[in-house]
Amino acid sequence: MNSHIDYSLLSTTTSLGRVRGFTVTLLFMLNDGGGRCCDLAERSGKSQAYVHRYLRNLRKYGLVVKNDSFWFLTPKGAEFVKYLNFVYNKILEYGKKEERKKKEERKKEETSQPKTLKQIPITLWLAKSDLSETEKEVVDMLVKHYNETGSKFILIKDQYELAEKIKSSPEDILPALKNLRQDNIIYVHKSEISGYWKIGLKKAFLEARMREQT
């Protein structure tokens, strides 16, 4: 805190071990200005007898004083509230630092551990299928991409780029994509990125291949 704390005003009888709970609540309530016992009871939701008992104890500690029907903090009480604020702020600051430290440690741990993706074998399925060689190459490429990255789709500009990826003839690409779409193996549509197409494996196809592993 910016304001100076006069620790000489704090005696051992007003240590944190003795002043706690509702006593601290009253001190902070009085720190906003003086108050009558009935007002403090209404604000705290306690009975007047309950509040008055605590106020008497605080007066014994020299932290509050009564003037007519109003109770006020003494200079010693004001300093003690300032001290409590200092301590609580330090506790909060320490808690925030610890939480940041834990988050950073969790982040490091997560990034240091490689993601384990459920691998989908496709070789046997492709061997049994009646797909053309180009169609098989497209499916094989998409499954390998999924196994490596967890992403079900890729982005391409045109059939020429895809043909280059799978080492196939460009004129075979469009018919292959059309057939794979009709067989509900892949989907093809324009991407949100201008000029690109999104080609991906359908969820039902992936789930069917995963069930084959069980």
- Domain check: are 137 and 192 in the same one? yes
Residues 45 and 130 reside in one and the same domain: no
pLDDT at res. 5: 52
Domain end (from 110, 139, 163): 110
Contacts of 10 (CB under 8 A, 6+ apart): 76, 79, 80, 83
Q: Return the closest-CA partner of residue 180 out of 212, 136, 125, 214.
A: 136
What's residue 92's pLDDT? 83
Instruction: Examine the domain organization and report whether 90 and 14 are in the same domain.
Output: yes
The answer to whether position 1 is within a domain reads: no
Q: Is residue 156 part of a domain?
A: yes
Return the amino acid letter for 48: Q
Check which CATH number belongs to the domain holding 102 and give it.
Answer: 1.10.10.10
Can you give the pTM of this predicted structure?
Answer: 0.47
Does the residue 146 lie in any domain? yes
The segments of the chain whose pLDDT lies below 70 read 1-19, 110-117, 214
Q: 182 and 88 share a domain?
A: no
Decide which of 55, 78, 110 is a domain's last residue: 110
Same domain, yes or no: 205 and 129 = yes
> Do 131 and 56 have their domain in common?
no
Is 115 a member of any domain?
Answer: no
User: Do 101 and 138 share a structural domain?
Assistant: no
Which residue segment(s) compose the domain that 61 sits in?
Answer: 7-110
Q: What is the dihedral of CA 153, 157, 159, 163, to 10 degrees?
A: -70
